[in-house]
Amino acid sequence: MSISQPIPTHDHTQIELGFLRKYIFSEDHKMIGIQFLFSGMIFLFLGGALALLVRLQIGWPYGNLPMVGNWFPASWGGKMSPEFYTMIFSMHATIMIFFVIIPWLTGAFGNFLIPLQIGARDMAFPKLNMLSYWVMWPSFILMLISFFVAGGAAGSGWTAYPTLSSAAMPDGMTGSPASPNSGTGQVLWLISLLFAGVSSMMGSVNYITTIINMRCPGMTLMRMPMTIWAMFVTAILQAMALPVLTVAIILQLLDKTIGTTFFLPPAGMAFGNWHTGPGGGQPLLWQHLFWFYSHPAVYIMILPAMGMVSDIISTFARKPLFGYRPMVYAIAGIAGLGFIVWGHHMFQSGMDPRLGTGFMIATIMIALPSAVKTFNWLGTIWQGNIQYTSAMLNALAFVSMFVIGGLSGIFMAATPVDVYIHDTYFIVAHIHYVLFMSTIFGIYAGVYYWYPKMFGRMMSETLGKIHFALTFLSANATFYPMHIIGVGGHPRRYFDITIYDTFQHLQPLNAFMTVAAIILGFVQFIFVANFFWSLFFGKKANRNPWHSNSLEWAAPSPPPHGNFEGNVPSVYRGPYEYGHPETQEDYLPQFEPNGPKDTPGGSH
Amino acid sequence: MGSAIMLWPEQASTIASQIDTLFWFVTAVGLIFSLIIGATLVGLAIQYRRQSETFVPTPVHGSTILELAWSIIPLGLVMVMFFWGLFIYVDYNRAPENAMEVYVTGKQWMWHLQHVGGQREINTLHIPTGRPVRLIMTSEDVIHDFYVPAFRVKMDVVPGKYSYLWFEATKPGTYDLFCAAYCGTEHSRMIGKIVVMEPSEFDRWLTQSADRSLALQGRQLFQKLQCITCHHPEANNRAPILEGLYGKRVQLEDGTTVLADEAYIRESILYPKKKIRAGWKPIMPTYDQQVTQDELIRVIAYLKGLKQGETPPLVQQSDAPAVKDEK
């Protein structure tokens, strides 16, 4: 049953806000969503540049880097130093995960779409929503400052495993004996992620409350678009998993600053002749706490994309989503299983093998809901009337990349195989197929699809298709060979593999991947150009340019403050009524009554 | 099968072929599914492309039979993978009783390897073919990972605890040893080699490089560190005699019992007050920071083989040659 909307007493149509209130400290969910979108885009390019530097080093190890070499300090001799390398691969992952993907999916799309798609005028807590964006800024700034402190930004991997990350000099000495960039940089990294976590938590409680309480008349749970279901489940995941990460971060912060020993082993550690003194903790404890958040986080980084893609595929296939209820159950299933599989990151950590068996069966079961989702997407386009817009192409690319990423995940679930490929480039290939290629194609699909609603103009389809084709090719050329060098035994996070004779024959492949990655990076400028050109010169969009069914298309493009003119709409049916027999058109929106039996909140 | 593919390292252990077979099974399933799904996706995408603006597709909302089909078939396949994998995983974790033990200490950025016979190696491990080898591993500083691609084995080496790994080499040769867990600046230079020899050749190597056995070195430490002053039958019952301790269950003060394994012995040396044996006073001082990881291993190796009536006489204490410090 839906709960009715509080009737707005003030007039929403025209409230003139100053520039600062409208664009900067805005409480409007649409503007906050767009802010998340823009800051994510900035960090996408920073994270991407770091990735290219990593690839340059692997492609031409320790070589004199053309052009780039001139930016390095003279003392490095135009070559990359190992400390710099460890710093950039750590920061690449950190920035992409915490500053790009999570804020884009939940911050940008969650904020923009939730109220519009459930027929609410705004989020349940608009001020909290504004705060959730502005708390990201201390996080951004601290992370950027950390590049310039002594030792550089954090260099212990995005996983920050103690004792490498947590070993700290006592007696007020700065730095860390373990690695030069796990000193001050690591402290800033921890504080920065604390802020990012607070932001995510504010967002997720807001989303949960809004979706439960603010649905418009007739919007029952089983009439919600998949995007909303995905955002809802994601928000629950975040709300439950984040406190654990927050605790872990605080514990590591205490270890590093006031000398507690949560992650320091009882015997202490010896670095040459220097001894840390005894601790009382367990390095493995961090891994359990970290992955208890970060495994669900992997689903936080893909479920919203799955939801958006479901909506987009249904719209452009002009077909109802195949198996709506199984799709909802599959999302819930992935999320539920997501909480009991964190140990599969630790099969080789020395944990008890009996525990490993439990994680193995739980992990392998994730194949089922994932299969259900994939086949239902295929069922949706079957017998459709498919319209190949840029959004649809990206959505279909999402499906195919998710198939590859999902199937390569089974290798890790089968523990003995994981024994071999763990910590090799196979893992790097897998995570990038799931989190880079699936999610980014999902995000691009979402941008192309909802851009008219966000900015009231259409993006260029020609540029969109060129961008799609080049991204698809170069991304696969970058990441697919990583599977091959991974099963060849190529370990990840190696600064220089040419010192091993064993890997000499992989070097041409590595160089090839680097070239593909550089192309991939530059191709993204087509997207940026399209995005900003269309902002000013794109064709004006009408209310419902894609002839879609869900509620956001009832609002003007772009929607005014308060979203809907007059009363909030009422909902009469599910969001996927394409080819409905009672109408001439090939679609029947949720918000349009069709005959006398359609009363708001009626049967569904 | 391995050499058929240029990129794949050779199989040089008993478990390698088992893991590879499972790998190929998962690969086959993965390839078949991605081909089926890929072909279907492309086929449907072409077949059902928009041909007219006015065509209205028949709405289909789902099919229970299909949903069941594409849940149950993958379920069957992943269950096969699970039980197959479990079978190998159990094997992988259970070292044979007769395994030859080698103690491994990882530190930034090298491997210390100690044989039971007392032979010490750095970054190179000599082992025979046809004989299971069990590694007892710890780290002095950060987490490392002992990874031998040709053996298809990998295990983290964690400070503050022992982890275990076993394998049985099948082919003589020299194989790469990598550190697979990111361990700091010189991670990629933590280079090692495993030298696999024919058993007869290995025995020759062992004799040539024999020092005093690990247990003998441990015995000297046992005296040098004054352990013997209390853990001795003539010491007025100040501390328990440690003969035959290893592998037994020990009754603790709080009523629980604990298995006297490497981890227990190590903890009792470093933190004697953590687990007090029933009937004894907590008077032992801590040896934390007074012994290195390598020395600990030697004392443990000594205690593991200490049998009834073998505790050395107290008088030897002053005669014991000083143990050479390798640092």
CATH classification at residue A115:
1.20.210.10
DSSP labels for B200-229?
HHHHHHHHHT--S-HHHHHHHHHHHTTHHH
pLDDT reported for residue A598: 63
Of A269, A495, A497, the CB nearest to B159: A269
| A324 vs B: CB within 8 A | yes
| A368 vs B: CB within 8 A | yes
pLDDT reported for residue A65: 65
Alpha-carbon distance of B321 to B325, in angstroms, equals: 12
**Does B50 sit within 8 Å of A500, measured CB to CB?**
no
Q: Is residue A11 part of a domain?
A: no
The domain of A243 spans 29-265+286-554
Helix or strand run (H / E) with residue B124:
strand B124-128
Q: Are B75 and B255 in contact (CB under 8 A)?
A: no
Quote the minimal CA–CA distance from B178 to chain A in Å.
8
Say if residue A4's pLDDT is above 60. no
pLDDT reported for residue B110: 92
Mean pLDDT of A407-424: 91
pLDDT reported for residue A174: 64
Q: Is residue A578 part of a domain?
A: no
Q: Is residue A319 part of a domain?
A: yes
Counting residues of chain A whose pLDDT is more than 90, the rounded percentage is: 70
Q: Is residue A559 part of a domain?
A: no
Say if residue A8's pLDDT is above 60. no
pLDDT reported for residue B211: 67
On chain A, the residues whose CB falls within 8 A of the CB of B50 are: 385-388
pLDDT reported for residue A268: 80
Question: CA-nearest residue of chain A to B28?
Answer: A407
**Does B159 sit within 8 Å of A267, measured CB to CB?**
yes
Q: Is residue A589 part of a domain?
A: no
| A64 vs B: CB within 8 A | no
Counting residues of chain A whose pLDDT is more than 70, the rounded percentage is: 93
pLDDT reported for residue A580: 83
Tell me the pLDDT of chain B averaged across its residues.
86
**Does B18 sit within 8 Å of A266, measured CB to CB?**
no
Mean pLDDT of A19-34: 87
ipTM given for this complex: 0.88
| A269 vs B: CB within 8 A | yes
Quote the minimal CA–CA distance from B327 to chain A in Å.
9
From A17-26, A382-391, B162-171, the region with the lowest mean pLDDT: A17-26
pLDDT reported for residue B220: 85
DSSP labels for B36-61?
HHHHHHHHHHHHTB---SS--PPP--
Mean pLDDT of A409-431: 92
pLDDT reported for residue B57: 84
* 3 state SS of A340: coil
Q: Is residue A471 part of a domain?
A: yes
Say if residue B1's pLDDT is above 70. no
Tell me the pLDDT of chain A averaged across its residues.
89
CB atoms near residue B269 (< 10 Å): 22
Q: Is residue A535 part of a domain?
A: yes
Say if residue B4's pLDDT is above 70. no
Mean pLDDT of B116-139: 92
A600 pLDDT band, cuts 50/70/90, is low
Say if residue A15's pLDDT is above 80. no
**Comparison of pLDDT for B184 and A232, the residue scoring more:** A232
Alpha-carbon distance of A440 to A521, in angstroms, equals: 13
Chain segment A458-513, per-residue pLDDT in tens: 999 999 999 999 999 999 999 999 999 999 889 999 888 888 888 888 888 999 99
Question: CA-nearest residue of chain A to B80?
Answer: A414
A69 pLDDT band, cuts 50/70/90, is low
Non-local (6+) Cβ contacts of A490 within 8 A are A424, A425, A497, A503, A506
* 3 state SS of A145: helix
Mean pLDDT of A112-117: 96
Say if residue A524's pLDDT is above 80. yes
Mean pLDDT of A404-417: 92
pLDDT reported for residue B84: 93
B243 pLDDT band, cuts 50/70/90, is confident
Alpha-carbon distance of A169 to A259, in angstroms, equals: 9
Token pair recorded at residue A117? 């798609």
Sign of the CA dihedral running B251, B257, B259, B260: negative
Chain segment B73-122, per-residue pLDDT in tens: 999 999 999 999 999 999 899 999 999 999 999 998 899 999 988 888 88
Bridge partners for A311 per DSSP:
none
- What is the DSSP-derived secondary structure letter of residue A564? S
Alpha-carbon distance of A383 to A271, in angstroms, equals: 66
Domain count, chain A: 1
Mean pLDDT of A433-446: 95
* 3 state SS of A575: coil
**Does A388 sit within 8 Å of B156, measured CB to CB?**
no
Quote the minimal CA–CA distance from B130 to chain A in Å.
21
Instruction: Calculate ∠ Cα A259-A264-A267, nearest 5°.
Output: 110
Bridge partners for A517 per DSSP:
none
Chain segment A268-299, per-residue pLDDT in tens: 888 877 777 778 889 999 999 999 999 999 99
Chain segment A324-347, per-residue pLDDT in tens: 999 999 999 999 999 999 999 998
Maximum separation of any 2 CA atoms in chain A, in Å: 86
On chain A, the residues whose CB falls within 8 A of the CB of B104 are: none
Closest to A589 (Cα-Cα) out of A601, A603, A572, A602: A572
CB atoms near residue A148 (< 10 Å): 9
Quote the minimal CA–CA distance from A590 to chain B in Å.
16
Q: Is residue A275 part of a domain?
A: no
B251 pLDDT band, cuts 50/70/90, is confident
B271 pLDDT band, cuts 50/70/90, is confident
Q: Are A297 and A97 in contact (CB under 8 A)?
A: yes
Q: Are B253 and B278 in contact (CB under 8 A)?
A: yes
Provide the angle, in degrees to the nearest 10, between the axes of the packed helices A184-213 and A136-145. 160
Non-local (6+) Cβ contacts of A503 within 8 A are A485, A488, A489, A490, A497
pLDDT reported for residue A501: 81
**Does A320 sit within 8 Å of B327, measured CB to CB?**
no
Mean pLDDT of A303-319: 95
Say if residue B213's pLDDT is above 50. yes
In a mutational test of the A interface, the residue from B11, B143, B288 whose CB has the highest number of chain A CBs within 10 Å is B143
A173 pLDDT band, cuts 50/70/90, is low
Counting residues of chain B whose pLDDT is more than 70, the rounded percentage is: 93
Residue A151: φ, ψ to 5°: 90, -15
Query: At which residue do the structure tokens 């006015």 appear?
Result: B54
Question: CA-nearest residue of chain B to A505?
Answer: B7
Query: At which residue do the structure tokens 């971060």 appear?
Result: A249
Non-local (6+) Cβ contacts of A46 within 8 A are A95
Mean pLDDT of B202-223: 83
